Structure 1
Amino acid sequence: MSRTPRVDARKVARVLEKHGYALVRQSGSHRMYKNADGIRVTLPIHSGRIIHPKILLKIAEDAGIPLDEF
Structure 2
Amino acid sequence: MPPLPSVSGTRIVRALERHGFKIARVAGSHNIMRHPDGRGTTVPVHGNRDVAKGTLRGILSDVGMTIDQLAP
List 4+ stretches of structure 1 deviating above 6 A.
none
- Find out whether 1:49 has 2:56 as its counterpart: no
Pairwise mapping of residues 1-70 of structure 1 onto structure 2 (< 5 A)? 1-68=1-68, 69-70=70-71
State the superposition RMSD in angstroms.
Answer: 1.0
**What's the TM-score, normalizing by structure 1?**
0.91
Supply the AA of the counterpart residue of 1:48.
N
Q: Percent identity?
A: 33
1:62 deviation in Å? 0.7
- Counterpart of 1:36 in 2: which secondary structure? coil
How many residues align? The count is 70
Supply the AA of the counterpart residue of 2:49.
R
Structure 2: which 5+ runs fail to align? none
1:17 deviation in Å? 0.5
Structure 1: which 5+ runs fail to align? none
Structure-1 separation of matches of 2:59 and 2:34: 12
Structure-2 separation of matches of 1:65 and 1:19: 10
Supply the AA of the counterpart residue of 1:29.
S
- Counterpart of 1:51 in 2: which secondary structure? coil
- Counterpart of 1:4 in 2: which secondary structure? coil
**What's the TM-score, normalizing by structure 2?**
0.89
